[in-house]
Amino acid sequence: MEKKDGAYKAHVLVLPFPLQGHINPMIQFAKRLASKGLKVTVPTTISATMSMHIGSGLVDVEPISDGQDSVSQNDNLAFLADGSGTLTKLVEKYEASSDPFCCLVYDSILPWALDVARQHGLYGVSFFTQSCAIDAIYYHANQGHLTLPLAAAAAISLPGLPELGISDMPSFISEPKSYPSILEIVLKQFSNLEKADLVLVNTFDKLEDEAVRWMEGIWPVLTIGPTLPSMYLDMLIEGDKSYSLNLSNPNSDLCKKWLDARQTASVVYVSFGSVANLEADQMEELAWGLKESNNNFLWVVRESEHSKLPSKFLEETIEKGLVVTWCPQLEVLAHQAVGCFLTHCGWNSTLEALSLGVPMVAMPQWTDQPTNAKYVEEVWGVGLRVKVGEKGVVRREEMEKCIREVMEGERGKAIRMNASKWRELAKDVLAEGGSSDKNIEEFVARATFFNASRSPPRAE
Ligand code: UDP
């Protein structure tokens, strides 16, 4: 957003790692900054940009190289490991223009970006796209406060967090041998964090009160979430209704028409996000559990997962169910026909359901999802977590039971009341003067001050 005299308060570079769950919160934060008078540029790797559906918005999107740059190659792994060369080129290109960056907000899983910021005299700000609880757990693991592998029976007590069992821990911690390279990445977030000027977290104070206080004791933390488009919460940014960058094409018209024809709170919306894959036998149990629950359902089954649907399932459920490859999730969750969200508990999906007051059936798969599911059920009281049966599979009877309980049961009533309470709190924090709004204002003030008083590049 331009100031009246045509100048901006400051030019900020916001750098997400190009996965849907990282792009969404960082783009939304970028839009908030733009609405408060900053100019914002968001670089995304060329390979990701090529497969994105870019909506119009308040921010400039700048394609950069990840070393692969073909339409089919979208793994971005080289960039994740070290994209300093590419980022340096971008920063220097703007440095030579009349519109240099003063600040870099980088995804916390790209810690090398802070070194680039430092070398070019930029204000360096780390952005955590996951919850404070998760950040705290990874921090303690990095500090050696948690000895891996964890003892199976032990209850884990960490400052600011409820007591956690091993099955509540992020999968990279409960099963450190499962994805050692990702474990290394999440621990590395803390390798140089003490040098960051600010640490932003996509959460809000009341949601994780004690964990936020604990984090504030270590780093200069500002909570700025939940990062949903403004029209779903505070309505302060006119026309901000979607995340703008979609890595897949949503079946919007079809979903809307189908939901419009369903009764209020009669639909179970099912999605496992953009990455998680279910085993074929788990898919089968889920499919029949959904059918047996006898509710309407809208299920997102990504193209790559389609072959795992049981044969005849689509024919047998044609009256009650719709299966799509991707949907406009926010529109779906905000639709009055939706009565509950059967979710993998990715952090964005969790925040979206909380912010829109939708009860959840939590079926975590991996990464931070088990911890989020624990909070959904036991800390915020906004859903039930399915129990995992033999061979790690959730049986159809368990699915059916949890769905029915949330949709029609006694616990469902209490869950719906809590869900409404959290929706109101989420709206409050982003409304003018709310905690996240104040923190975003503080960020804008700091970036503006830094821009006005820029020092020469700081040496390492
Ligand atoms: N999403 C969507 N359409 C879908 C499924 C998911 O727009 O059909 C969005 C969802 O709103 C969320 C993001 O994709 O913002 C998924 O992020 P999350 O952290 O929940 O899960 P991940 O994909 O990272 O596992």
Question: Which residue has the CA at smallest separation from atom 15 of ligand 1?
Answer: 348
Helix, strand or coil for residue 45? strand
Look at 438 and 57; give whichever has higher pLDDT. 438
Cα separation, 286 vs 221, in Å, equals 40
How many CB atoms neighbour CB 3 within 10 A? 11
Q: Write the pLDDT tens digit of every residue in 269-303.
A: 999 999 999 999 999 999 999 999 999 999 999 99
Q: What pLDDT score was predicted for residue 413?
A: 97
Residue 80 lies in a domain: yes
Q: Decide: 20 in ligand 1 pocket, CB within 6 A.
A: yes
* Domain match, 325 and 421 both: yes
Residue 78 lies in a domain: yes
Residue 410 lies in a domain: yes
141 phi and psi angles, rounded to 5 deg? -65, -40
* Domain match, 228 and 292 both: no
Residue 2 has pLDDT above 50, yes or no: no
361 phi and psi angles, rounded to 5 deg? -110, 115
Percent of the chain with pLDDT over 70: 92
Cα separation, 225 vs 207, in Å, equals 10
Residue 445 has pLDDT above 90, yes or no: yes
Distance from Cα 154 to the centre of ligand 1, integer Å = 32
β-strand pairing of 245-246 with 39-45: unpaired
Residue 5 has pLDDT above 70, yes or no: no
Q: Decide: 43 in ligand 1 pocket, CB within 6 A.
A: no
Q: What pLDDT score was predicted for residue 297?
A: 98
Q: What pLDDT score was predicted for residue 458?
A: 42
Give the mean model confidence (pLDDT) for residues 178-188. Answer: 96
Q: Decide: 365 in ligand 1 pocket, CB within 6 A.
A: no
Q: CA dist 297 to 252, 262, 335, 438, Å? A: 16, 10, 13, 39
Q: Amino acid identity, residue 207?
A: L
Q: What pLDDT score was predicted for residue 130?
A: 98
* Domain match, 17 and 87 both: yes
Contact 229, 28 (CB under 8 A): yes
* Domain match, 185 and 305 both: no
Question: Which residue has the CA at smallest separation from atom 5 of ligand 1?
Answer: 273
* Atom number, ligand 1, closest to the C-alpha of residue 274: 23
Q: Write the pLDDT tens digit of every residue in 329-351.
A: 999 999 999 999 999 999 999 99
Give the mean model confidence (pLDDT) for residues 192-197. Answer: 98
The boundaries of the domain holding residue 99 are: 11-244+431-452
| pLDDT-derived band at 79, boundaries 50, 70, 90 | confident
Ligand 1 binding pocket mutation candidate from 254, 349, 367, 369 (most atoms within 8 A of CB): 349
Whole-number mean pLDDT of the chain? 92
Residue 203 has pLDDT above 50, yes or no: yes
Q: Amino acid identity, residue 336?
A: Q
Q: What pLDDT score was predicted for residue 167?
A: 96
* Domain match, 439 and 355 both: no
Helix 410-430 × helix 396-408 angle, to 10°: 70
Q: Which tokens hold the place of 54?
A: 């870019």
| pLDDT-derived band at 189, boundaries 50, 70, 90 | very high
* Atom number, ligand 1, closest to the C-alpha of residue 271: 5
Show which residues are catalytic: 22, 107
Q: Enumerate the β-bridge partners of residue 269.
A: 298, 341
| pLDDT-derived band at 44, boundaries 50, 70, 90 | confident
Question: Which residue has the CA at smallest separation from atom 6 of ligand 1?
Answer: 273
* Domain match, 288 and 314 both: yes
Residue 457 lies in a domain: no
Q: Decide: 275 in ligand 1 pocket, CB within 6 A.
A: yes
CATH for 194 = 3.40.50.2000
Nearest one of 202, 231, 232 to 215, comparing CA atoms? 202
* Domain match, 231 and 326 both: no
Domain count, the chain: 2
Helix 132-143 × helix 209-216 angle, to 10°: 50
Q: Amino acid identity, residue 96?
A: A
Cα separation, 155 vs 147, in Å, equals 13
DSSP secondary structure string, 317-371?
A: TTTTEEEES---HHHHHHSTTEEEEEE---HHHHHHHHHHT--EEE---STTHHH
Residue 151 has pLDDT above 90, yes or no: no
Q: Decide: 296 in ligand 1 pocket, CB within 6 A.
A: no
Distance from Cα 21 to the centre of ligand 1, integer Å = 6
Residue 1 lies in a domain: no
Q: CA dist 352 to 29, 316, 355, Å? A: 15, 31, 5
Q: What pLDDT score was predicted for residue 459?
A: 38
Residue 224 lies in a domain: yes
* Domain match, 270 and 393 both: yes
Give the mean model confidence (pLDDT) for residues 150-168. Answer: 93
β-strand pairing of 53-54 with 245-246: antiparallel
- Predicted structure pTM score: 0.94
Listed range (3-7, 252-256, 423-427) with the worst mean pLDDT: 3-7
DSSP secondary structure string, 98-152?
A: SS--SEEEEETT-THHHHHHHHTT-EEEEEE-S-HHHHHHHHHHHHTSSPSSPPT
* Domain match, 228 and 278 both: no
Residue 74 has pLDDT above 60, yes or no: no
Distance from Cα 20 to the centre of ligand 1, integer Å = 7
* Atom number, ligand 1, closest to the C-alpha of residue 25: 15
Q: What pLDDT score was predicted for residue 258?
A: 98
* Atom number, ligand 1, closest to the C-alpha of residue 324: 8
Ligand 1 binding pocket mutation candidate from 19, 323, 348, 358 (most atoms within 8 A of CB): 348
Q: Amino acid identity, residue 284?
A: E
* Domain match, 69 and 124 both: yes
Residue 396 has pLDDT above 50, yes or no: yes
Residue 327 lies in a domain: yes
Q: Which tokens hold the place of 361?
A: 């059936």
Q: Decide: 348 in ligand 1 pocket, CB within 6 A.
A: yes
Cα separation, 371 vs 219, in Å, equals 22
Q: Which tokens hold the place of 77?
A: 């792994």
Q: Decide: 234 in ligand 1 pocket, CB within 6 A.
A: no
Listed range (81-95, 164-178, 446-460) with the worst mean pLDDT: 446-460
| pLDDT-derived band at 455, boundaries 50, 70, 90 | low
Helix, strand or coil for residue 426? helix
* Atom number, ligand 1, closest to the C-alpha of residue 345: 20
Please work out, in degrees rounded to the nearest 5, the angle formed at the alpha carbon of residue 356 by the alpha carbons of 319 and 292.
30
Residue 6 has pLDDT above 60, yes or no: no
Contact 160, 213 (CB under 8 A): yes
Cα separation, 30 vs 14, in Å, equals 7
Q: What pLDDT score was predicted for residue 71?
A: 42
* Domain match, 177 and 266 both: no
Q: Find where tokens 């949503």 sit.
A: 250
Nearest one of 283, 318, 254 to 396, comparing CA atoms? 283
Q: Find where tokens 């719709």 sit.
A: 322
* Domain match, 18 and 71 both: yes
Give the mean model confidence (pLDDT) for residues 247-259. Answer: 91
Give the mean model confidence (pLDDT) for residues 216-229. Answer: 98
Helix 280-293 × helix 396-408 angle, to 10°: 40
Q: What pLDDT score was predicted for residue 63?
A: 77
Residue 311 lies in a domain: yes
Listed range (6-15, 82-91, 129-138) with the worst mean pLDDT: 6-15
Helices (H), 144-219: 171-174, 180-188, 209-216
Cα separation, 41 vs 88, in Å, equals 15
